[in-house]
Amino acid sequence: MKTLHGAGCLSAARRRPLAACLAAAVAIAPGAGIAQVPNFDQATSIVVVQNCNDSGSGSLRAAYANAVDNVLIDLTDLVCSKITLGSALVDPIAAANVTLLGPGKDKLAIDGAGLYRVLVHRGNGGLHVDQLSIVNGHYAGARGGCIYSAGGVEASATRISSCVLESDQPTAYGGAIYAKDVVSLFDSTIAESSATAATSNLARGGGVYAGGVIVARSTISGNSADRGGGILADGLIEIEDSTFSGNHATYYGGALSSAGAAQSHTISNSTFSGNSAGANGGAIYATTLNIYNSTVTQNTTPSQFTRGAGLFIGASFLQSTIVANNTSNGGLLEDDVVAYDVVAGSDNLIMAGSGPVPASITIDPKLGPLQDNGGPTKTHALLPGSAAIGKGSNLLGLDNDQRGAPFDRDNGSAADIGAYEFRDKVFRDRFEGPA
């Protein structure tokens, strides 16, 4: 097992750290299956979409069907709220890198009408979707309910939701997004999507299935599959400043599951809440995992024989993290961490651990409900008197808690445990701020 005690690739390049993270991934875990790095910042041509028609001159379909490599398809001038498709949008194989730029995710949606995939990207580079909503995709095949990519996918300030992969084949991978290479999500939401397959236990990644995953300042919620209700990745997983909530796996990893060879996956400043699995790993099922300054709570598995309602992990590292109030057996059994190999780390609050887990504070952390406490993603606030206040650490040197600026990571002699830093002063907008 490798533990990452440095600043981490996400913290080093916070806006769009794709290239930096993938370089780090190759260095940390050679052969991880993460292929070419899409280059989304060098558009050599721009095509402006002129109308909201499904087809014809000036339409999105015409622009996408005739895309060239490194094209930017500009939808920012459109005044309609939705483009409803009569079939999936498919680009040329030669268009390795394609960018769709919208006017805002609340202003324009590309809608599959509950009948079709939305985007098929056949090039081996990357599909970048920026400031759009991708909704109501449906595909009766094995890969990608809303988006399929033979390369990578990057979504920025984008919502992808209500996607259904309902496979008539043995496998189903990626209810919302399937990508052979890396899926990167920045300031985005993957929600209310599902993957089902003709063969039991072979539906993977209700939200995302990918060769590797990078998630920053994003929300993954309400997705479902047999394994990895929110996300399942074959390669390296890097998550920062994000919330996974209300995802469900029929078998393993309600929010998140890893597959393939062991990886040093890293999670920091993030919240896993209210996820569930029918077997093991109500929130996370992983061979090896590094978690820093995060909160894992209120996740469930159904019975005393389905364990690790919070974490079901092998050799891992937990630092300044809350894993508490996760339950099995209909809420009767506190079941936070099941470790089948040594878990190292310190300064944690783990109410109930099974296996070789680090010594921790074991009392209730007194968490508020999952809600908007400021910042781009929902969090559980530490309530006054919480045992987590001032008992944590900041091994990664994070500047802020999960909410970002102005919520400093360290407030006092020591950081708090978990994704949220307690403050005893309140701004007039009702959100806590610097003391």
Decide: 235 and 249 in contact? Cβ < 8 Å: no
Q: Cα(412)–Cα(382) distance, rounded to whole angstroms?
A: 15
- One pLDDT digit (tens) per residue for the chain, 435 residues: 222 222 234 433 334 433 344 334 333 332 333 333 344 556 789 999 999 999 999 999 999 999 999 999 999 999 999 999 999 999 999 999 999 999 999 999 999 999 999 999 999 999 999 999 999 999 999 999 999 999 999 999 999 999 999 999 999 999 999 999 999 999 999 999 999 999 999 999 999 999 999 999 999 999 999 999 999 999 999 999 999 999 999 999 999 999 755 567 999 999 999 999 999 999 999 999 999 999 999 999 998 888 899 999 999 999 999 999 999 998 999 999 999 999 999 999 999 999 999 999 999 999 999 999 999 999 999 999 999 999 999 999 999 999 999 999 987 779 999 999 998 644 334 444 443
- For the chain, the domains span 9-307
| pLDDT value of residue 378 | 98
Side-chain half-sphere exposure of 189, counting CA atoms within 13 A: 18
Q: What is the pLDDT of residue 261?
A: 57
pLDDT score for 306 = 87
Q: Which residues contact 305 (CB under 8 A, 6 or more apart)?
A: none
pLDDT at site 410: 87
Q: Which CATH number is associated with domain 9-307? A: 2.160.20
d(CA 164, CA 167): 9
* Interstrand relation of 147-149 and 265-268 (parallel, antiparallel or unpaired): unpaired
DSSP states of 398-426: -SB-TT-TTSBS--SSSPPSSS----S-B
Which region, left, alpha or beta, applies to residue 192 given φ > 0 means left and ψ of -120 to 50 means alpha? Answer: left
Measured distance CA(370)–CA(378) in Å, rounded: 6
Q: Whole-angstrom Cα distance, residue 93 to residue 282? A: 39
Strands 152-156 and 126-130: parallel
Residue in this structure with the two tokens 């991708």, named with its chain if needed: 134
Q: What is the pLDDT of residue 305?
A: 85
d(CA 282, CA 211): 22
Q: Which two tokens stand for residue 135?
A: 């909704």
